[in-house]
Structure 1
Amino acid sequence: MVKMKLDEQIPALGAQLLDTNLPLSTRYRVLFTLKGIGGDEAVKAISAVFEDESELLKHESAYVLGQMQNMLAVDTLKAILRDQNQAPVVRHESGEALAALGRFDLVDILDEFAKDECVDVAETCEIGAKRLRHFHDPANLFTKALPSVYSSVDPTPACDDAPVDELVARMMNYELDLFDRYTALFALRNKGSDDSILAICKGFADTTSVLFRHEIAYVLGQIQSSVSAPALTVVLENAAEHPMVRHEAAEALGSVASPDVLKTLEAFKKDDKRIVAESCVVALDMYEYENSGNFQYANGVETAQTVSA
């Protein structure tokens, strides 16, 4: 037996990603394995998933394509954003991914869909267009923001550092546009203190934007602090909350992976909203990983790494 080169494993991994007979948690790990390998062939393999029935997997695939920073994904992401038959949560993530790619000519399609009938898509594209204009303006090269310890390509930059109370006031100021509110959110994330985490949790009280509350949950999942577990649990348990927010809260709880979240995730893995139920299944797998001591979550390569000599 000989080990295969990583890029030689992409066809097998791509097949696993599309295999609906595999558990969704396994396909999720395969997706992030492909992200880790990177390159054009990995982008092509991920781009084939958008005919799948799982909105969650397609949403996460769009996210990954943006994070990979490979321009080969542009046409796929544009097509998904334009496709009214795709779920709003998938279209929104495609718009955000296009903005993450950072190419200024993509501002045109984002401006176009900033007027979309779906509010979540429109808000995403409005933020994305402002992101591109911000980063292509030489005046924004210098910042007093705290450096980020996170490797993610974020929807907005963090604003200049300030005391927690000032940042949370900006984050919750409904008179500001979402781009500006997001900058305060990411500044709070970068602080990383318990006070800043509790301040971020206040964002769930927002009444103006599903997209904003969803981003609160996403950021708390990045931070992975048990301090946020009570607030995330309340969101997941609230059947009246939008599924896009609840699903992100479930995934965040899986990343937090404190013992108290296990019962909650188990309780909602059969939720009547499929994207919430699937997120709990994936979150339980994340929980298992976080508590396993294993080195790598994206271990899909282990099932496709050997061939006969």
Structure 2
Amino acid sequence: MAAVESVEQLRERLLSGTADVATRMRTVFALKGLGSDEAVHVLGSALLRETSALVAHEICYVLGQMKLESAMPVLTETLKDTQRDAMVRHEAAEALGAIGAPHAAEILAQFEHDAEVVVAETCQVALERIRWLNSPQRAAFDLEYGQYRSVDPAPAIKLRDSDGALKTQACSVEELRRILMDGAESLFTRYTAMFSLRNMHSEESIKVLCDALHDPSALFRHEIAFVLGQMADARSVPALKAVLLDVNEHAMVRHEAAEALGAIASDECDALLHEFRHDPSAVVRESCLVALDISEYNNSDQMHYTDRIVNA
């Protein structure tokens, strides 16, 4: 088992400018594991100077997962910076929603009609999450993290009848598919169906999620790919492969498909990721390198994803 590194050691590695992308990503998650305001400060410093949109967006994601309000100033600064990559600003907005502080609503409302559609849509989802956290409707959703242990942008649906009463059995896949595919519903509502289908983790729910990869919203498609990565089920490989192969697809969606393939970690996935290590899109090619690193970890005897950074 690798030795636990200090915050200062992790800071040096993350800010040195010499570590490769995969090592920086492992370092980001090592800092997440510390769960302290000091770790937040290091991650915030890295976020402001990180040149890789992939790593910067992952820092935002981790800051949201840590749920510490000390991260809010740097996340707000990142969201406000219209010169930053839209993927990074999107993740900053989502992180503010994950932290869930009521006073984050003011800054999110300023950007819910942003020129970048993925940023605008993310702010809308984050605002609805904050409203939900502070509403009586919170009881109608499942707060359990379950096996995925993630702070999601929307909760899974609890067991409900049409009149709002609690059910004795779960929503059917057909009910969830209807909500997921209904473009007239808010993204937040559709996300609740998405995470419910993830939690089901059945052949039928995987098929529905894969079908949703054709949705008009790039933000929605990217979240679907992320969820499929959490599930790490080989039955989703054909759909994820099609996304990565589509050079006309939004880079943010292809990035999530690549990392999902890394989580599945089969020989077929590795071969595909090797093929796209030199993609014209920096986000995609870096994601393939990180995904290969994740695949190697998943096929190793390492106890924790961050173990190898000690020897980096």
Tell me the TM-score normalized by structure 2.
0.92
Q: Tell me which of 38, 45, 51 is aligned to 1:48.
A: 45
Q: What's the counterpart of residue 90 of structure 2?
A: 92
Quickly say closer, same or farther: Cα 1:56–1:146, change in 2 above 3 A. closer
Spell out the pairing of 1:132-147 with structure 2 (5 A cutoff). Answer: 132-143=130-141
Counterparts of 1:48 and 1:57, CA distance in 2? 13
- The Cα offsets for residues 17-48 of structure 1, whole Å up to 9 and x where unpaired, read as 12332221111111111111120111111111
Distance 2:142 2:288 in 1: 38
1:294 alignment partner in structure 2: 302
User: Is 2:33 the partner of 1:25?
Assistant: no
Q: Secondary structure at the match of 2:249?
A: coil
How far residue 193 of structure 1 moved from its aligned partner, in angstroms, is 1.1
Secondary structure of 1:128 counterpart: helix
The code of the aligned residue for 2:9 comes to: A
Separation of aligned partners in 2, 1:52 and 1:139: 39
Q: Which runs of 5+ in 2 are unaligned?
A: 159-169
| 2:59 paired residue among 48, 51, 61 | 61
Cα offsets for 1:85-117 (capped at 9, x unmatched): 110000000000000001111111111110211
Structure 1 segment 111-260 matched on structure 2, within 5 A: 111-143=109-141, 148-160=146-158, 161-207=170-216, 209-260=217-268
- 1:236-289 deviation per Cα after TM superposition (whole angstroms, max 9, x unaligned): 010010001000100111011122111100000100000000000000000100
> Which amino acid letter does the alignment assign opposite residue 174 of structure 2?
D
Q: CA offsets, 1:183-224, max 9 Å, x none?
A: 1101100101121112111111112x1000000000001111
1:53 aligns to what SS in structure 2?
A: coil
Q: One-letter code of the match for 2:207? A: L
Identical pairs, percent: 43
- Report the AA paired with residue 167 of structure 1: L
- Count matched residues: 299
Distance in 2 separating the partners of 1:125 and 1:71: 18
Deviations 1:55-98, CA, capped at 9 Å, x for gaps: 00000000000001111100000000000111000000000000
The AA in structure 2 aligned to 1:255 is: A
Residues in 2 aligned to 1:79 and 1:147: alpha-carbon distance in whole angstroms: 29
Cα RMSD after superposing both structures:
1.8
In 1, distance between residues paired with 2:137 and 2:288? 43
Q: Is the 8 A contact 2:63 2:71 kept in 1?
A: yes
In structure 2, C-alpha distance between the alignment counterparts of 1:118 and 1:143, rounded to whole Å: 30
Cα distance in 1, alignment partners of residues 279 and 112 from structure 2: 31
Verify the 8 A CA contact 1:171 1:185 in the aligned structure 2: yes
Mapped to 1, the partners of 2:91 and 2:283 lie a distance apart of: 14
Deviation, 1:293, is 2.2
More off after superposition, 15-24 vs 229-238: 15-24
TM-score, length-scaled by structure 1: 0.93
| Ranges in structure 1 where 5+ consecutive residues have no aligned partner | 305-309
Deviation at 1:142, TM superposition (A): 4.0
| Local SS of the residue matching 1:297 | coil
Please say if 1:265 is aligned against 2:273.
yes
For 1:164 and 1:108, the matched residues in 2 are separated by: 36
Which shifted more, 62-71 or 9-18? 9-18
User: Alignment partner for residue 293 of structure 2, among 281, 285, 291?
Assistant: 285
Give the deviation of 1:143 after TM superposition. 3.7
- Aligned-partner residue type, residue 264 of structure 1: L
How far apart, in 1, do the equivalents of 2:308 and 2:10 lie? 7
Q: Which has the higher contact order (CA 8 A, sep 6+)?
A: 1
* Corresponding residue for residue 307 of structure 1: none
Asked if the contact 2:108–2:123 (Cα under 8 Å) also holds between the matched residues in 1, the reply is yes
In the alignment, the residues of structure 1 paired with residue 6 and residue 137 of structure 2 have an alpha-carbon distance, to the nearest angstrom, of 44
Query: Structure 1: which amino acid aligns with 2:99?
Result: L
Matched, 1:15 2:12: yes
